[in-house]
Amino acid sequence: MLRKLYDWTMDKAAHRHAVWWLAFFCFVEASFFPIPPHPLLGLMCLAEPKKAIRFALVATLASVAGALLGYAIGWGLYDTVGVRLIGALGLTDSFPVAACHLRKYDFEAILIAGATPVPFKLLTITAGFVGMNLVSFVLSSLFARALIFVTVGVLFRVFGAPIKRVIDKYLGLVTTAFVVLLVGGVLVLTTLSGSSSDKSDPCAAATTVNAGG
């Protein structure tokens, strides 16, 4: 079923309203849709490299708007809607760990989730559930989504179709490495500053509890 859903999503790259479909998929993926929009963005940029940056900006803004929907679900509808979404996406065991990391790292956790293969929808719903500062949430979501989507757009605009193979193979590694370098120092400093007063790691404890069932 997921394969059929993926194929249906990718077919929209050739639709006459492809830009609107891209916005729609980026919006829903940030809160509940299981298919990532990155391949659709890549196909559209491949077909029209001169419009690649425009496509990337649409993807970025729509994804941030969708992130706000995920936040709203976690904030006001978690018990009725959010818990069912998390379960349907197979992320039930990951939720308490995500909540712990969001409480601990805030901005950095959203940045990592938004620019790496970590399910972004998990963090958007969880951010609402834990009551993350909304301004911090929006800024981190905007930066993270722009990092990955605009990178794709710029590469296609500058290098054209030949860059597709490189993007398919290395984009995830490059954006992940960039995020690690960007926030790694902050996380290390945070950990070191808290180590003298708190020897235990509640996030590690949450991971252990979930791993043990």
Confidence of residue 137 (pLDDT cuts 50, 70, 90): very high
Class of residue 75 by CB neighbours under 10 A (exposed 0-12, middle 13-18, buried 19+): middle
160-193 burial: b if 16+ Cβ within 10 Å, else e: eeebbeebeeebeebbbeebeeebeeeeeeeeee
Q: 35: which DSSP letter?
A: S
Distance in angstroms (rounded) separating the CA atoms of residues 160 and 119: 29
Residue 190: its pLDDT value, please? Answer: 46
Tokens representing residue 179 in the block: 């995020």
Amino acid at position 99, single letter: A
Distance in angstroms (rounded) separating the CA atoms of residues 144 and 142: 6
Distance in angstroms (rounded) separating the CA atoms of residues 58 and 150: 10
More confident residue, 77 or 113: 77
Residue 188: its pLDDT value, please? Answer: 46
Is 60 exceeded by the pLDDT of residue 166? yes
Residue 212: its pLDDT value, please? Answer: 39
For the segment 123-147, the average pLDDT, to the nearest whole number, is: 92
Q: Which tens digit of pLDDT belongs to each residue from 46-97?
A: 888 889 999 999 999 999 999 999 999 999 999 999 999 999 888 888 888 8
pTM exceeding the 0.85 threshold for the entire prediction: no
122-145 burial: b if 16+ Cβ within 10 Å, else e: bbbbbbbbeebeeeebbebbbbbb
Tokens representing residue 120 in the block: 């972004």
